[in-house]
Amino acid sequence: MAQPDYEKYYVPDSSPWPIVGAVALFLIAVGAGNFVIEQTKGTSGYGGYILTAGFATLIFMLFGWFRNQIHESMSGLYSDQLGRSYRQGMAWFIFSEVMFFAAFFGALFYARMISIPWLGGSGNNAATNEVLWPAFQAMWPLVQTPGGTETEAMGWYGLPLINTVILLISSVTCHFAHVALEENKRGRLKLMLGITVLLGAIFMSLQVEEYIHAYQEMGLTLQSGVYGNTFFLLTGFHGLHVTLGAIILFIMLLRIFKGHFTPENHFAFQAGSWYWHFVDVVWVMLFFFVYIL
Amino acid sequence: MSTVTDTIHHENDLHEHHAPPSGIKRWLYTTNHKDIGTLYLWFAFIMFLTGGAMAMVIRAELFQPGLQIVEPNFFNQMTTVHGLIMVFGAVMPAFTGLANWLVPMMIGAPDMALPRMNNWSFWILPFAFLILLSSLFMEGGGPAFGWTFYAPLSTTYSGDSTALFVFSVHIMGISSIMGAINVIVTIFNMRAPGMTWMKMPLFVWTWLITAFLLIAVMPVLAGAVTMVLTDKFFGTSFFDAAGGGDPVMFQHIFWFFGHPEVYIMILPAFGIISQIVPTFARKRLFGYASMVYATASIALLSFIVWAHHMFTTGMPVFAEMFFMLATMLISVPTGVKVFNWVATMWRGSMSFEVPMLFALAFIVLFTIGGLSGLMLAITPVDFQYHDTYFVVAHFHYVLVTGAIFSIMAAVYYWLPKWTGKMFDITLAKWHFWCSLISVNVLFFPMHFVGLAGMPRRIPDYALQFADFNKWISLGGFAFGLSQFIFLALLIKACRKQGDPVSDQVWEGAEGLEWEIPSPAPYHTFETPPVIK
């Protein structure tokens, strides 16, 4: 009962790339697990090598898989319906990333609003404070932990504020790049996307500088209590995502120089730009809850 | 629910098919939803037997009071890995396998929306469990902190293998998230023309909502294991009060994942039962729309009840009240479902084929598990029941006689469609009756020892529990052995032994999957059917 206007949904033939990717993740997990054990115990082993081999396999897989897909897309095998599948898939993936960050934000809120006040004796927890650490006073940022570790709090002005501005501008340039692509203005597209990637790189280098400053001058480390924990895990995972997003956009830039993408057909670019806006929104939340408040 | 034009057959025959490649490459490289569904189901069954073997070790040790067979630390590893395997290796992959096989056929789609990612999300699973299982042989043993890996058991008092546990859970999570994205996009984007939302079979509806839950909470589990990793190996103190954290915070994060997780393991079961009961009662499902709304309500409520697992941690009284009442609220939509199944059977012309037997057992036994859950929801009562065998009885009633019985019902219901041959009915009936009797001998007395105060996750117990534990262990061994009947039946079915079946297979079965040939061709609905 074929309908005249029905375009066949492209179901790819069997592909070797997923199983290569499965081996890659296996090597990464085994390698990372052993690497962590060896690093923290100071023993020697093969963890690092397995981990490196895993990442190499993953990169190999990504190149192969995406080469296939780009080829299929450019030979016109993809229907609008398939484009919708990709877009919806990407949107749900970003939602899962939001929930990943939510776990760490949850930890931050719990520590601030519940565990630290309770340790300080608020509510009906006077005995907790009295028995465990009578000298401890609830505070945020937690510059002195109940166990006695001392640190300094990271201010929001200076580097973090500059970084916020950089990332917000990059989100705007990324949007303009998208508009330029849809209007088929390739020159403006290259310029705007180039600026976006550059701003991403500047953001990351400033972030590295902030970490060095925190470790060397402020004594704010991953070990300095729950303030340092939430600070480094939230900003660290965000930085990882910015790096990934910048790499994605950089590859899009290379593809644009090769003449890929049309105003109608540019899912990969769109997915990369969604991802970039997502890391921006996470940063705004971070800036507000980790730095300012 | 839906009627379809009668030309589907011929149309499928006219298409030229890519024959599946032969040998191991077919299974390694496949992008076909039916192949991947089969892989998921066999993997789940192998994991079910593996996790079951661990349960046999546990029951052998508990057969008598005293320590006789295994070391306590090994006993703890068995309870931990048994739980992890059954949750992430058996029940969840089995449901994903069923979704792979059935969702495209039920909505008239040519395949899953993202077929290559579908392959990837399956093939990373065996590797994840290879890592988890091999960690049992590491120095210091595998994970021994319970499947819930509470801090500080998993952070301060655990072995090196924790690192491998963390990364294997990460891979399981990636697999589930990719699988769920695939299901959700398939349902949103691949429905045949005319397959409107409220015409979708309930199995599709329940899986849609399950997929949403998976995408929402699996990343939270990833966050929880990451914090365990940094607490254990990199000196953070998320779960350590000396650094301003709190071990109870672990439980909050874990159960924010964990409670939706238990509905992830039961909502598809509700869908399966809602497919099977109307077929064998030869009536339409009673209250289709209310089933959809009830499923959605259960899913939404599942996000605000997590702390009922933590009543004894010393939360403020208002929090205990809130979580108690929210939890009890869930019994309303669940009651709607049980009522609708019973009402579907009311005055139906019932017949009792094997899938229906499992479905009926599900309705009765799952309800027992639901009622003991309601008892556990009452905060002051939970103070008595917490961490006793009563809890073990409760969740095994909902997971074994609930989730796993529904999976078995589903396999018996759709197996003839997959293979084109009727399974061995005699073996199937033996499997049903042996499982039904033994599973109740196994789990029902756990209520009694639990109420009398026997703690869970303990390799030894007080003498007064000896008689009941002997019966529990005997029931356990019998239930374990009964599954070999199922294995024999499945091997026979995969060798295509048995009588050929009609396309409809079961008199009274309705839906798109019953209108294509039996066995289902390698590719179905390459051009979508039109649903009137």
Place of tokens 């009295």: A130
pLDDT of residue B9: 45
- Backbone φ and ψ for B388, nearest 5 degrees, come out as -110, 175
Domain that holds residue A45: 15-77
Residue A272 within any structural domain of the chain: yes
Q: pLDDT band at A27, cuts 50/70/90?
A: very high
Q: What is the mean pLDDT of chain A?
A: 94
- Structural domain ending residue among the three candidates A77, A96, A131: A77
Cβ–Cβ gap A111/B193 under 8 Å: no
B167, B182, B235 member nearest A32 (Cβ): B167
pLDDT of residue B65: 96
pLDDT above 60: residue B273: yes
Residue B337 within any structural domain of the chain: yes
Q: pLDDT band at B16, cuts 50/70/90?
A: very low
Mind listing the pLDDT tens digit for each residue in A233-246?
999 999 999 999 99
Q: Are residues A148 and A64 in the same domain?
A: no
Residues in chain B with CB shorter than 8 Å from the CB of A21 are 120, 124
Tell me the mean pLDDT in the region A139-144: 94
A–B: how many Cβ contacts below 8 A?
A: 241
Q: pLDDT band at B18, cuts 50/70/90?
A: low
Q: Are residues A86 and A172 in the same domain?
A: yes
Residue B45 within any structural domain of the chain: yes
pLDDT above 80: residue B32: yes
Residues in chain A with CB shorter than 8 Å from the CB of B111 are 9, 11
Residue A1 within any structural domain of the chain: no
Residues in chain A with CB shorter than 8 Å from the CB of B249 are 107, 110-111, 114-115
In chain B, the number of structural domains is 1
Residue B5 within any structural domain of the chain: no
Residue A126 within any structural domain of the chain: yes
Residue A2 within any structural domain of the chain: no
Q: Are residues A100 and A236 in the same domain?
A: yes
Q: Are residues A141 and A190 in the same domain?
A: yes
Measured distance CA(B22)–CA(B277) in Å, rounded: 38
Mind listing the pLDDT tens digit for each residue in B99-122?
999 999 999 999 999 999 999 999
In chain A, the number of structural domains is 2
Q: pLDDT band at B2, cuts 50/70/90?
A: very low
Measured distance CA(B229)–CA(B225) in Å, rounded: 6
pLDDT above 70: residue B15: no
CATH of residue A36's domain is: 1.10.287
B114, B127, B193 member nearest A26 (Cβ): B127
Q: What is the mean pLDDT of chain B?
A: 94
Residues in chain A with CB shorter than 8 Å from the CB of B224 are 103
Q: Are residues A184 and A136 in the same domain?
A: yes
CATH of residue B441's domain is: 1.20.210.10
Cβ–Cβ gap A36/B163 under 8 Å: yes
Residue A245 within any structural domain of the chain: yes
Q: Are residues A56 and A144 in the same domain?
A: no
Tell me the mean pLDDT in the region B503-530: 93
**Of A8-12, A259-263, B30-34, B409-413, which gets the smallest average pLDDT?**
A8-12
Q: Are residues A60 and A85 in the same domain?
A: no
Tell me the mean pLDDT in the region B487-504: 95
Return the H-helix or E-strand segment holding A286. Answer: helix A267-286
Q: pLDDT band at A67, cuts 50/70/90?
A: very high
Mind listing the pLDDT tens digit for each residue in A102-114?
999 999 999 999 9
Q: Are residues A47 and A165 in the same domain?
A: no
Closest CA–CA distance from residue B264 to any residue of chain A (Å):
16
Residue B440 within any structural domain of the chain: yes
Residues in chain B with CB shorter than 8 Å from the CB of A85 are 113-114, 185, 189-190
A29, A84, A92 member nearest B167 (Cβ): A29
Regarding an ipTM greater than 0.90, the answer is: yes
A103, A223, A229 member nearest B224 (Cβ): A103
Q: Are residues A102 and A194 in the same domain?
A: yes
pLDDT of residue B19: 66
Interface test mutation site (partner A, options B3, B122, B127, max chain A beta carbons within 10 A): B127
Helix (H, G, I), strand (E, B) or coil at B295: helix
Interface test mutation site (partner B, options A6, A7, A19, max chain B beta carbons within 10 A): A19
Cβ–Cβ gap B244/A36 under 8 Å: no
Q: Are B111 and B104 in contact (CB under 8 A)?
A: yes
Closest CA–CA distance from residue A53 to any residue of chain B (Å):
16
Cβ–Cβ gap A145/B244 under 8 Å: yes
Helix (H, G, I), strand (E, B) or coil at B388: strand
Interface test mutation site (partner B, options A11, A17, A143, max chain B beta carbons within 10 A): A11
Closest CA–CA distance from residue A175 to any residue of chain B (Å):
26
Residue B521 within any structural domain of the chain: no
pLDDT above 90: residue A13: no
Mind listing the pLDDT tens digit for each residue in B120-160?
999 999 999 999 999 999 988 999 999 999 999 999 999 99
Could you give the angle at the alpha carbon of B140 between the alpha carbons of A53 and B45, nearest 5°? 70
- Structural domain ending residue among the three candidates A59, A77, A95: A77
Residue A7 within any structural domain of the chain: no
Cβ–Cβ gap B184/A88 under 8 Å: yes
Residues in chain B with CB shorter than 8 Å from the CB of A105 are none
CATH of residue A164's domain is: 1.20.120.80
Closest CA–CA distance from residue B154 to any residue of chain A (Å):
15
Measured distance CA(A287)–CA(A77) in Å, rounded: 43
Residue A10 within any structural domain of the chain: no
Q: Are residues A118 and A229 in the same domain?
A: yes
Closest CA–CA distance from residue B371 to any residue of chain A (Å):
31
pLDDT of residue A29: 97
Residue B8 within any structural domain of the chain: no
Looking at the annotation, which residues of B are catalytic? 82, 111, 147, 175-176, 259, 261, 263, 274, 308-309, 334, 337, 456
Cβ–Cβ gap A11/B31 under 8 Å: yes
Residue A177 within any structural domain of the chain: yes
- Strand (E) positions, B385-512? none
- Structural domain ending residue among the three candidates A58, A77, A96: A77
DSSP collapsed to 3 states, A159-216:
HHHHHHHHHHHHHHHHHHHHHHHHCCCHHHHHHHHHHHHHHHHHHHHHHHHHHHHHHH
Q: Are residues A180 and A209 in the same domain?
A: yes
Mind listing the pLDDT tens digit for each residue in B232-251?
999 999 999 999 999 999 99
**Of A122-136, A182-196, A242-256, which gets the smallest average pLDDT?**
A122-136
Residue B425 within any structural domain of the chain: yes
Domain that holds residue B438: 29-514
Q: pLDDT band at B22, cuts 50/70/90?
A: confident
CB-neighbour burial class of residue A157 (10 A; exposed 0-12, middle 13-18, buried 19+): exposed
